[in-house]
Amino acid sequence: MRVLGNPGGLFHLRGGLVTAVESPGSPGAEALLLRSGRVSEQDWTAALREGTGTRSHQETLIARGAVGARELNALITVATRDGAFATAAGEIEDYVVDSPLDVLLSTSDGVAPDLLASETERRLDALAAMPFPLSPYRERVVPGSRAGTRALTDQQRTILEHATGRRTARDIAFVISRGVYPVTVEISRMLTEGMVEIASPEVSFGFVNWGHSSLHPRARPERGASPETEPEPLPARHRKNSRNRTRPSRWPAPPEVLDLSETEGKNIGL
């Protein structure tokens, strides 16, 4: 099932269960494996080559000893839940059911759609209830005035290192190879404690000729003038307006809310 929107997402289903979710809004299982150093580029390339045909790519990774079966399945499950959150936290326009597509890494157990929807709803509600609910895709952050006055956890220190004012929570999640949901929640907490602040437009968009005047329109050439020396003015281009919600998109409320723990993610460092 392809969810259309910004960032959108691709939900892989088998036997009525969700086996993987891929979204541009969150690091997938492949990115978490490679960027965190759990699997080397050499082992990954070998798995792609050897897994074609009789065995799947993840079976090849496990057979090569690159990663354990239990750890790999837990990581894929965490990436699946994070991808669902990333999709729901953005703009959802429509969905399309496609023919089954191949996916390199998928959870062996699968996740029931109603449980995945409940968990996603719980995460959206938890983020919205924070004193500074942060959008994973909109606000950019810089170190705050109290960043150097408090003891920092390893995760907070890593976030501060990459809080340049030009990165959103989603951008930082990709850089540090962690799920976008825990990174967004942690940055929201750091905003509350003054360890980070929302970057000003001058910092966030300083690379786009901030404050410069626009170019003057070209003069229309006189009759008989050479087009090489006096070109026609270019047609004006108008920027389209886009919606920018302050509250993430919400899925329809499920009949009951399942309070799943973050045990899997904590055990594997996500």
Among 127, 152, 125, which Cα is nearest to 137's? Answer: 127
Assign domain 141-201 one CATH number from 1.10.10, 1.10.490, 1.20.1530, 1.10.3470. Answer: 1.10.10
The arithmetic mean of pLDDT across residues 186-204, rounded, is 90
Q: Identify the burial level of 222 via C-beta atoms within 10 angstroms of its C-beta, where 0-12 means exposed, 13-18 middle and 19 or more buried.
A: exposed
Q: What is the pLDDT of residues 101-153, one digit of tens each?
A: 878 888 888 999 999 999 999 999 999 999 998 999 999 999 998 887 778 89
Please report which confidence band the pLDDT of residue 214 belongs to, taking 50, 70 and 90 as the band edges.
very low
**Beta-bridge partner residues of 17:** 14
Q: Choose between 16 and 62: higher pLDDT.
A: 16
Res 189: pLDDT:
94
Beta-strand (E) ranges in the chain? 2-6, 9-14, 17-22, 91-96, 141-143, 196-198
Contacts of 251 (CB under 8 A, 6+ apart): 88, 117, 120, 121, 124
Q: Is the pLDDT of residue 225 over 80?
A: no
CA-CA distance, 179 to 155, in Å (whole number)? 12
The neighbour count for residue 82, using CB atoms within 10 Å, is 29
Q: What is the pLDDT of residues 52-71, one digit of tens each?
A: 655 567 787 887 777 888 88
CA-CA distance, 232 to 244, in Å (whole number)? 36
Q: Choose between 165 and 201: higher pLDDT.
A: 165
CA-CA distance, 98 to 44, in Å (whole number)? 28
Among 76, 124, 115, 85, which Cα is nearest to 260's? Answer: 115
Task: Report the SS3 class of residue 120.
Answer: helix
Please report which confidence band the pLDDT of residue 94 belongs to, taking 50, 70 and 90 as the band edges.
very high
Query: How do the domains of the chain map onto residue ranges?
Result: 2-129, 141-201
Distances (CA, A) of 166 to 28, 40, 169, 190, 198: 22, 29, 10, 17, 10
Contacts of 158 (CB under 8 A, 6+ apart): 176
Q: What is the dihedral of CA 138, 142, 148, 153, to 10 degrees?
A: 40
CA-CA distance, 201 to 142, in Å (whole number)? 12
Please report which confidence band the pLDDT of residue 212 belongs to, taking 50, 70 and 90 as the band edges.
very low
